[in-house]
Structure 1
Amino acid sequence: MTTPVCTSADTTQFTAYVRSKGPTLLRTARSLTPNPADAEDLLQTALTKTYLAWDRIDDHRAVDGYVRRTLVNTRTSQWRKRRVDEFSTDELPEPATAGPDLVEQQVQRDALLRAIARLPPRQRAMVVLRYYEDMSEVQTAEALGVSVGTVKSAVSRALGKLRDDPELELSVA
């Protein structure tokens, strides 16, 4: 069985109808489904069905009711089919890949620099050389002209002060 094709006069009438009633019909479709994109798809499907039946509609003043009935029936059919490819779950299928919070990192970095600035000059120099310049204990001792034991004990005391600093919320190793 072949579907009759609308004539150009029918197409012109249908186009004029869609232009005049489209926004109203879209509001109706949006009231039938919560997702705006689904509402647009629903309206498109209903208008396609209406276009195919356009030549069979005797009273074109009743087209609004026909399209609304088509919207409701199409939405009901979609609801009954319950698409298999969509499942609601409590957990996301993939873990969120949120990057590091750059603002929080900067806040921590600023707090750490303020805490280091409060250390005595000698401890501050040793911490900076050891952890910011990535020098070994031996290299730090040579750079400051002190013994390796002095570097170890001074850095240990400095890290203890940093751990106890109330402004810092991070763990210093």
Structure 2
Amino acid sequence: MGASRLPAFLRFGHLVTGSATAAQDAVQSALAGAFERWERLESPGDADAYVRRAIANARISAWRRFGKRQVVVAEPAVLDHPDHGTRLIEQDAVWRVCAQLPPQQRATVVLRFSEDLDYDEIARMLGCRPATARSPIHRALIALRTLLAEEDR
């Protein structure tokens, strides 16, 4: 796993945590953990999955630890695209809605739709069955539809 994966991990971390700073911390911790277990990771794909799972688990654990005492101020994801203005407006709108999801739902939505993983891969990353991985995504999509309908009013 080379430095070329760092931007993808940071994007993933930003989508999961809602903060560029928290994403950097989560990615650093995940990469340190991967380095410690490098001999046990069989392929680069395993290392990628391990790092993404560690990032998602770190966010979920932090949420459980601090719960509602911790207020997350969502930052819009800033990605490099040719049409910056339109793209940033779209990303900001999507991020504001996704930031309202609970951490586990947000993590599974990011894995499914941003990382384009199928349910089996998500389940393997989260250490659960595919049906268990589908459940938070299903609940998140219902919540997103509700939130978007409320914003349209």
TM-score by length of 2: 0.42
Rg comparison, structure with higher value: 1
TM-score by length of 1: 0.37
Answer 1 or 2: higher relative contact order, Cα 8 Å, separation at least 6. Answer: 2
Choose between structure 1 and 2: higher helix proportion: 2
